[in-house]
């Protein structure tokens, strides 16, 4: 597994796939249209570069909470929310310690 949630064959791990699905749902709910990028680009691009506004970001975080049964703490570092990859790593860590 590479550090980006993408393995050597270019496949996304299950947690990353689920986080991408959360982002797609949030993006559609907030902006009325899907992201027009492939999963690899979604995973590796900063959320700001994907055109994610504050409403879509909030929807995304709620989707992640609902999907994985986690809660975001106030002390989560900003870099954790910078990309789908960093969110997926955080979720995987949270699930491992739960």
The answer to whether 43 and 88 are in contact (CB under 8 A) is yes
> Which CATH architecture is the domain 14-97 placed in?
Orthogonal Bundle (1.10)
What ranges do the domains of the chain cover? 14-97
- pTM assigned to the model: 0.83
Residues 25-83: pLDDT tens digits?
998 988 888 888 888 888 889 988 988 888 889 999 999 999 999 999 999 999 999 99
Asked if 47 contacts 35 with a C-beta cutoff of 8 angstroms, the reply is no
């Amino acid at each position: 597994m590479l550090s980006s949630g993408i393995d050597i064959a270019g496949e996304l791990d299950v947690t990353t796939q689920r986080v991408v699905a959360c982002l797609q749902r949030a993006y559609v709910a907030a902006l009325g249209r899907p992201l027009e990028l492939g999963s690899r680009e979604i995973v590796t691009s900063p959320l700001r570069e994907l055109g994610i506004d504050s409403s879509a970001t909030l929807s995304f975080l709620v989707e992640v909470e609902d999907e994985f049964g986690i809660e975001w703490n106030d002390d989560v570092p900003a870099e954790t929310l910078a990309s789908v990859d960093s969110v997926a790593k955080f979720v995987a860590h949270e699930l491992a310690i739960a």
